[in-house]
Amino acid sequence: MRYALKVQYIGKNYAGSQIQFKNGEPIKEPTIQGELEKALSTLIFGNPENNNRQFKTIFSGRTDRGVNSFGQVVHFDTDKDIVASKFVYQLNEILPDDISVSDLRQVESNFHAQKSAKRRHYRFEFINRKCKNAFDGALMRVKYPTDEKRMQNSLNYLLGEHDFSSFKGSGTLNPSKVCFIERAKVQKLGDRVIIDIVGNRFLYNMVRTIVGTLLEIEGHNLEPEHMLRVLEACDRRKAGQTVSPYGLTLMEVTY
């Protein structure tokens, strides 16, 4: 039987969502997948070690070191019947405090957390204030003023289907660089700026580089059309910096 979990986590203390390998061996850094598989293996097999990773989870997508999730979707297979409410409670008691499961349900055998996904919603949040505040946490702080209307005009150039090569990180393995952006919205709530981007897929570091380019436009008072020129160049060297992962959250995956 196949089950799907909705997983929430704070990524600050983890080397990304997925277990990474070097020379065929898993790198010994804490990951969301590693902690989740350990907890699931404890409940299902009574074996927290999950030797040789006989029990495996499939994530809807990879999130980098420091990136959070409010709605990561993960599927796994087991021949054991699971009572959802009881299982979720027990799982959350085992998981570290910065990882939790908000939902579990049985799905069809052909459901795939990654391949069945239709859209993904990412949110990036930063502080727009000159002076720091003790409650800012790990959020990035931008000291120069930003204009909500200008930022929205810049983001509008990304809507639709495009080659996003200019915004990809060097770790992109998928040869396809074409993505469809359904929605890109910026809002300012006091000194907090929230950027929501919804698309069918995202390249490695794509959202963080889009935000970096947006801030380059604002910081140097460039015209919003600069975003279009960067997009059409299909050249990573034309885009802005890849900003900090802190403040980036995978909000939702829909199927």
Give me the active site residues, please.
Answer: 64
Q: d(Cα 20, Cα 207) in Å, to the nearest integer?
A: 21
Q: d(Cα 57, Cα 209) in Å, to the nearest integer?
A: 28
DSSP 9: E
Chain-centre distance of CA 172, in angstroms?
14
Write out 189-253 in H/E/C secondary structure.
ECCEEEEEEEECCCCCCHHHHHHHHHHHHHHCCCCCHHHHHHHHHCCHHHCCCCCCCCCEEEEEE
Q: d(Cα 105, Cα 99) in Å, to the nearest integer?
A: 18
Name residues whose C-beta falls within 8 Å of residue 3's C-beta, 6 or more positions apart in sequence: 75, 76, 77, 78, 82, 104, 105, 106, 107
Two tokens, residue 95: 């998981």
Reference 162, options 174, 175, 184, 178; nearest CA is 178
